[in-house]
Amino acid sequence: MSGEEPERPDTPSLEKRVTQPGRHVGDRYVRIMRPTGSGIKGHGGRYVATEQTMDRTGRVGHAWDGAVRFLIGKRLHSDAESEERVSVATGLPILASDNISSSAYATEEAMRILAIAGTAALALTMPIALAVVFVLAIVILSESRVIRAYPNGGGSYLVARENHGVIAGLVAASALLIDYVLTVAVSTAAGVAAISSFFPELHTQRVAVGVVLIAVLAIANLRGVREAGLLFAAPTYAYMLAMYGLLAFGLFRIFAGDVPAPVAPPDPFLPEGTAALSILLVLRAFASGSVGLTGSEAVANGVPSFRRPEARNAVITLVLMGTIFATIFLGVTYLATRIGIQPDQSEIETVNSMITRAVVGTGTPFYYFVQITTAVILLLAANTGFTGFPRLASVLANDRFMPRHFADVGSRMAFNTGIVVLSVLAAVILAAFGGSVNALVPLYTIGVFLAFTLSQSGLVRRWRRLRNPGWRLSIVINSFGAVVTGTVLIVVAVTKFALGAWMVMILIPVIVALLYAINRHYQTTQDALVLSGPEQRVPVYAAPVVIVPIARLDRAALQSLAFARSVSPTVKAVHVSTSRASADEFRARWNRLDTDVALDVVESPFRSLVQPLLRYIDAIDKSDDRPITVVLSEFVPRHWWEWFLHSQTAFRLKAALLFRPNTIVIDVPYHYQDTADLARR
Amino acid sequence: MQPKRILVALAGSSADPDVIRLVAWIAKPAKAEVVGIHVIEVRWNLPLDAVMEPELDRGEELLESAKKVADQAGLDLETELLQARDAAAAIVDTAVERKCDLIVVAMPYRKRLGRVYVGRTVQNVYVNAPCAVLAYRQEETK
């Protein structure tokens, strides 16, 4: 009811005002009566549900609330949204940890491919690393344009949708969704690999450890973006400290003429190699090294997570991220090639671990510091997936391409559905690939380069259309970005196709079709539900025909009959009986009842109750134009486990009638009361 | 005296928690019913039942706080929000209607012209209440 319309005196209201006369003339006063403890505040038809309304009742409810609050923290008020935003210092670990952490394994991934052609081919690692950094510089320059053009976030999906059309947008979104899931799986697997480098016993349990770590990350993210950022800030900066310390010490030793002796891997590749060095192999190594570019799109997608000015803070974070990645990646690659480190074929020890052992010695505190911080940042890199996937899913849900639950904001301002779905998918993929980084990486880079290419080319079209000041330079930058990322995409797709990239190439169109189908469903539903004009009258219906199925004449049945009579004057009770004798007995009992409700008894010699009742309702529906309302009486026992002791016919009928058109089903629950209670009433 | 029904007038001052604890101390041995009321005074240029949102919000908040203090003190406090032209008259009338045998009013320590200031409402309750009245004055602020 709108605030202007006077309420009918019998309309239920949260607030009653009773004027009392007082003892003297002029002493009248108004008593404002409100139910206490409801947790709903406000007056005059405008109310606000306080946090108290969120509290569950009962012992189980209290225990559940307690457990949830312990795990994910206190509920946050909607006004706290701005406080949940991040600065550059906290945004860097949240959104850039994926890209920065890639420096822990990008060198190794390139070396692993080159080593197939023998140890001599490892000399090509540095040129490949330089090529990767060059592509990264192009990507960062182009992504900063994306941020300026779309300061409200949305990233590649929004850019592609606006400039290339819906399908291209969905392709970019699908590619990114896949990429985010793989980010979590790959980063977790790489984190576990870093731990198993100094705890080899964990190698056999890597899937279980990975799944536990994904669960921990999910809980941290359910606590909210800012808290996750604060939690992850220290390890990210610790990793940077460890790596820059390692690089500084390693370079110092090399330039001082004390080149560290190489550490042999536990399971080395054959020195002469198993394949010839070919252009394709070099391209494969470049494609594997390009894994270091993943995560650079997260900043552009997460612009709204930043404090004001969002776009400026995002660009600063993006540039910082690129600089940090590039210096660590090039430094590690230089040390690996200069020292002569070879990758480990069985993935027991990482290249970074061997470099650290060579530079600072095995078992030194600094070695453990580097390994632990590497393991932690690789896990935090998974957090980029947790930041990106739920946000992109919420954008897609708001555009009605994904189920609406993905747009729901949880009690800590996080997109809970996205976080939970991402965790489950990542855990399943991790388990399916046995927790191997090497097996997962080929799937990884396709999505991100596809999204990059679509967004870069989308921006080119945008600049051509808008022709803003400086549009020519922007076109040159983004065209170059599109060509470079498109080339990398083709290289990755071709070289990794047989290794698993084919799965992503099949999955992307499947997800696009799924998103499109979801959108079609929402469109048709909206068309069916939308009001045709701004001013609508509430239709007035004739009183319905009410059918009350009655199994037994008891208190629950009388309650549902009484309710049915209050709804309509046309009420029909129906009893399905399994034999003539029980039908006669029921009618005899009914005749003794003081009621004007007519009764039909349906005999069911095949003992089925639900089907004859449904056919009876069909027959009544055909014979009468008025809408059918079925009033079901449902006995509710005192404890949940007592449900199994009752036949739940009402429940089965409800389920059967749920999809019957033009049928209103009203459930009248009859809660268990002991006989002492009834006697008192 | 063993009161059976006590009315405690709450103004939202710093004396409210003290007076609730005092009432709990009196009511618990006597097993007395206690009702806490807050009266919103309505200016004459407004209708008596005008919806004054800030005052209503404040009234609800202070009654909620009072309930919390009462819970901590082991007292079952029923609360009521009233609107009247004159708070003292509404307090006295509610006490009469509810057959209260004790009204407890609270005064924060404040001075005017060098003398402790009691206030119009407390004075009028004192003068007009047919039942016993206990006025609690907060200690002097140091």
CA distance B114 to chain A (A): 33
* One-character DSSP codes across A305-316: GBPSSHHHHHHH
pLDDT classification of A361: cutoffs 50, 70, 90: confident
Q: Which residues of B touch A13 (CB under 8 A)?
A: none
pLDDT tens digits, B125-134: 999 999 999 9
Q: What is the mean pLDDT of residues B96-106?
A: 93
**Which of A19, A36, A41 lies at the smallest CB-CB distance from B48?**
A19
pLDDT tens digits, A444-482: 778 878 888 888 888 889 888 888 888 888 888 888 888
CB contact, 8 Å: B131 with chain A? no
- Are B128 and B88 in contact by the 8 Å Cβ rule? The answer is yes
Q: How many CB pairs under 8 A join A and B?
A: 60
B112 domain residue, yes or no: yes
Q: Which residues of B touch A36 (CB under 8 A)?
A: 67, 79
Does the distance separating the beta carbons of B83 and A20 come in below 8 Å?
no
CB contact, 8 Å: A678 with chain B? no
Handedness of CA A554, A655, A528, A398 (dihedral sign): positive
pLDDT classification of A330: cutoffs 50, 70, 90: very high
DSSP 3-state assignment of A544? coil
- Are A236 and A97 in contact by the 8 Å Cβ rule? The answer is yes
pLDDT tens digits, A596-651: 899 999 998 888 888 898 899 988 888 888 888 999 988 888 787 877 777 677 78
Beta bridge partners, A19, equal A30
Does the distance separating the beta carbons of B83 and A30 come in below 8 Å?
yes
User: Predicted ipTM?
Assistant: 0.88
Q: What is the mean pLDDT of residues A239-251?
A: 92
Indicate whether B52 pLDDT > 80: yes
Beta strands in B14-64 (DSSP E): 33-41
- d(C-alpha A662, C-alpha A655), whole Å: 15
Looking at residue B88, its pLDDT comes to 94
pLDDT classification of A146: cutoffs 50, 70, 90: confident
Question: With 0-12 CB in 10 A as exposed, 13-18 as middle and 19+ as buried, what is A366?
Answer: middle
pLDDT tens digits, A559-597: 999 999 998 999 999 999 988 899 999 999 999 988 889
Q: What is the mean pLDDT of residues A73-85?
A: 70
**Which of A24, A29, A43 lies at the smallest CB-CB distance from B82?**
A29
Q: What is the mean pLDDT of residues A196-225?
A: 82
**How do strand B115-116 and strand B111-112 relate by DSSP bridges?**
antiparallel
By CA distance, what is B86's nearest residue in A?
A27
Does the distance separating the beta carbons of B49 and A19 come in below 8 Å?
yes
- Taking the CA of residue A615 as centre, how many other CA atoms within 13 Å lie in the half-sphere pointing to its CB? 8
Q: Which residues of B touch A39 (CB under 8 A)?
A: none
Other beta carbons within 10 angstroms of residue A499's beta carbon come to 16
B142 domain residue, yes or no: no
Looking at residue B20, its pLDDT comes to 95
Looking at residue A586, its pLDDT comes to 92
Does the distance separating the beta carbons of B57 and A29 come in below 8 Å?
no
B17 domain residue, yes or no: yes
Q: Which of residues 40-59 of A touch B (CB under 8 A)?
A: 41, 43-44
Which is more confident, A389 or A10? A389
pLDDT classification of A10: cutoffs 50, 70, 90: low
Q: Which two three-digit tokens encode residue A486? A: 């498109």
- d(C-alpha A184, C-alpha A199), whole Å: 22
- Are A188 and A376 in contact by the 8 Å Cβ rule? The answer is no
CB contact, 8 Å: A24 with chain B? yes
pLDDT classification of A228: cutoffs 50, 70, 90: low
Looking at residue A236, its pLDDT comes to 85
Q: Which residues of A touch B90 (CB under 8 A)?
A: 22, 27, 29
Looking at residue A508, its pLDDT comes to 92
Does the distance separating the beta carbons of B84 and A30 come in below 8 Å?
yes
- d(C-alpha A261, C-alpha B90), whole Å: 93
Does the distance separating the beta carbons of B85 and A32 come in below 8 Å?
no
Q: Which residues of A touch B80 (CB under 8 A)?
A: 31-33
**Which of B57, B67, B96 lies at the smallest CB-CB distance from A23?**
B96
Domain holding B17, by residue range, is 5-137
pLDDT classification of A83: cutoffs 50, 70, 90: low
By CA distance, what is A38's nearest residue in B?
B64
Does the distance separating the beta carbons of A23 and B56 come in below 8 Å?
no
CATH number at residue B77: 3.40.50.620
pLDDT classification of A88: cutoffs 50, 70, 90: confident
* One-character DSSP codes across A512-542: HHHHHHHHHHHHHHHHHHS-SSSS-PPP-PP
**All domains of chain A in start order, with CATH:** 1-52 (no CATH), 88-523 (1.20.1740.10), 545-680 (3.40.50)
B94 domain residue, yes or no: yes
Q: Specify the range with the lowest mean pLDDT, choosing from A166-180, A365-379, B80-94.
A: A365-379
Q: What is the mean pLDDT of residues A419-423?
A: 94
Mutate to test the interface with A, among B58, B97, B99 (most CBs of A within 10 A): B97
Q: Is A58 left (phi over 0), alpha (psi -120 to 50) or beta?
A: left
By CA distance, what is B49's nearest residue in A?
A30
Provide the number of structural domains found in chain B: 1
pLDDT tens digits, A509-563: 999 999 999 999 999 988 888 887 767 788 888 888 999 999 888 888 999 999 9
B117 domain residue, yes or no: yes
Other beta carbons within 10 angstroms of residue A251's beta carbon come to 15
B74 domain residue, yes or no: yes
B81 domain residue, yes or no: yes
Q: Specify the range with the lowest mean pLDDT, choosing from A172-176, A223-227, A553-557.
A: A223-227
B109 domain residue, yes or no: yes
Q: Which two three-digit tokens encode residue A675? A: 């006989």
